[in-house]
């Protein structure tokens, strides 16, 4: 009996110990689970900083300008005037003429690119048209006209091949002095010597044009004025204006002595200012102030 009690006591104590051990193990496990849950919760509750939003700049699209086409000018209404001019000048029927090319032009003088030989033109910018006509026989005509068709020039008629430029031939652009002489009693006496560039330049300018030479058949022509153009290397003499009032000049150049040349009326008037005490034919005398 005592033995049975001892066994029962041992079993009871063992069971109690086992129970304590189980409780301890259970509590340990719960503590670990709580730690894990707590850690997980803390990790879940961590607030990650929001990333800074950097906006992507939008590309600026620069519009490509649309090119404006250059319009071809309409045929000028003055084409009819130019056609009538050619028809009258060359006795051509208008029906036989055709305008096949035209273009706007800007010329440096009123000569409109077709200076008439022996004529001086003011250096004033002139706008207008270049008109190309063709006849049925394939002959071509070039007409220059101002903007309104007031002035019309047939260029080939105004540009003969035998023109010369006195200023270029005699190299007068390098003139340093001009001595003006006037005919009196068969001899030339000195009127004035020009050394001022402002007085020399206009005379050179009036002479700087294309002129046509012709055989000197005017043996009776006695020239009223003689001008000496003096440069560093030479002296060139030119005689101007016949006593009968004809506007011609004769040059001392060896290759041109047999010819006379027409001169512009502007030069005649300009020289007349220096010879006013003995007036030119056709130019009125300066009134006497006394």
Q: Write the pLDDT tens digit of every residue in 255-288.
A: 777 788 888 888 888 988 887 755 544 444 544 5
DSSP H helical ranges for the chain: 2-45, 79-90, 155-158, 166-170, 197-207, 265-272
Structure confidence by residue, pLDDT tens digits, 178-236: 999 999 888 999 999 999 999 999 999 999 888 877 766 656 788 999 999 999 989 99
Kindly indicate the confidence band of residue 129, based on its pLDDT and cuts at 50, 70 and 90.
very high
Tell me the average pLDDT across 24-31. 60
**Helices and strands (H, E) in the chain, number of each type:** 6, 12
What is the distance between the alpha carbons of residues 166 and 215, in angstroms, rounded to a whole number?
A: 16
What is the distance between the alpha carbons of residues 2 and 16, in angstroms, rounded to a whole number?
A: 21
* Tokens standing for residue 70: 């250059």
Residue 221 CB-density burial (10 A; 0-12 exposed, 13-18 middle, 19+ buried): middle
Tell me the average pLDDT across 170-185. 92
What is the distance between the alpha carbons of residues 132 and 82, in angstroms, rounded to a whole number?
A: 10
Kindly indicate the confidence band of residue 84, based on its pLDDT and cuts at 50, 70 and 90.
very high
Q: Where are the domains of the chain?
A: 79-159, 165-272
Instruction: Please report the DSSP string for 177-206 in residue order.
Output: EEEEEEEETTEEEEEEEE--HHHHHHHHHH
| 3-class SS letters over 154-180 | EHHHHCCCCEEEHHHHHCHHHCCEEEE
* Tokens standing for residue 105: 């032009």
Contact of 246 with 174, CB cutoff 8 Å:
no
pLDDT of residue 69: 46
pLDDT of residue 32: 56
Closest CA to 210 of 154, 259, 245, 158: 158
CATH code of domain 165-272? 3.30.1490
Q: In whole numbers, what is the pLDDT of the chain averaged over residues?
A: 77
């Amino acid at each position: 009996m005592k033995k049975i009690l001892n066994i029962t006591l041992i079993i009871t104590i063992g069971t109690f110990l086992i129970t304590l051990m189980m409780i301890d193990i259970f509590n340990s496990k719960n503590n670990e689970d709580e730690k894990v849950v707590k850690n997980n919760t803390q990790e879940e509750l961590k607030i990650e900083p929001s990333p800074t939003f950097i906006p992507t700049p939008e590309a600026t699209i620069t519009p490509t300008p649309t090119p404006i086409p250059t319009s071809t000018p309409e045929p000028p209404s003055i084409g009819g005037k130019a056609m009538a001019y050619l028809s009258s000048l060359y006795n051509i029927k208008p029906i036989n003429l055709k305008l096949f090319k035209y273009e706007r032009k800007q010329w440096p003088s009123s000569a409109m690119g077709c200076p008439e030989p022996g004529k001086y033109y003011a250096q004033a910018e002139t706008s207008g048209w270049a008109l190309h006509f063709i006849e049925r026989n394939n002959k071509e005509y070039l007409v220059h006209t101002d903007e309104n068709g007031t002035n019309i020039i047939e260029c080939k008629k105004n540009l003969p091949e035998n023109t010369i430029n006195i200023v270029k031939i005699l190299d007068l652009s390098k003139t340093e002095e001009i001595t003006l002489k006037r005919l009196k009693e068969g001899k030339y006496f000195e009127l004035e010597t020009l050394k001022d560039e402002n007085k020399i330049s206009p005379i050179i300018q009036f002479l700087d044009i294309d002129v046509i030479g012709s055989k000197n058949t005017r043996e009776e022509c006695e020239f009223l004025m003689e001008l000496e153009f003096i440069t560093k290397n030479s002296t060139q003499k030119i005689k101007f204006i016949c006593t009968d009032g004809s506007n011609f000049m004769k040059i001392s150049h060896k290759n041109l002595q047999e010819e006379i040349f027409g001169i512009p009326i502007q030069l005649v008037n300009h020289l007349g200012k220096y010879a006013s005490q003995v007036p030119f034919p056709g130019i009125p005398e300066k009134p006497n102030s006394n």
